[in-house]
Amino acid sequence: MPAGRLADKFCRRRLFFIGGVIFLALSAVCGLNPTVDVLIPARATQAIGGAVLVPISLDLVLPEFPLNQPATATALWGASQAVAAATGPSLGCVLVAARGRP
């Protein structure tokens, strides 16, 4: 909710980009970390980036569709979120296995 309010007050695209950079950077930290002591705060901070991305992404998608098709826009947005949620952990496992970690 705070991210949506901030997006209304400031530039949506800029805040979406900032959230994406936070999420991506902390994803790299999570993948490269040597200990659990680094992983836990990195994952917590990564969640902040994700919390910025999700509400703003729908806000950016809706205006790209005709005004009479908000259900189509929301359905495609939801489907893309589901694909990301389904493939992200699997891809992460593949990357971890390729790196040689148990």
Could you tell me the pTM of the whole model? Answer: 0.72
Q: What does 17-82 look like in DSSP terms, one character per residue?
A: HHHHHHHHHHHHHHHH-SSHHHHHHHHHHHHHHHHHHHHHHHHHHGGGS-TT-HHHHHHHHHHHHH
Task: For residue range 20-29, list pLDDT tens digits in order.
Answer: 999 999 988 8
Q: Among all chains, which residue has been given the structure tokens 């994952």?
A: 43
At residue 3, the pLDDT reads 73
Domain borders along the chain are 2-99
Q: What tokens appear for 6 in the block?
A: 């901030």
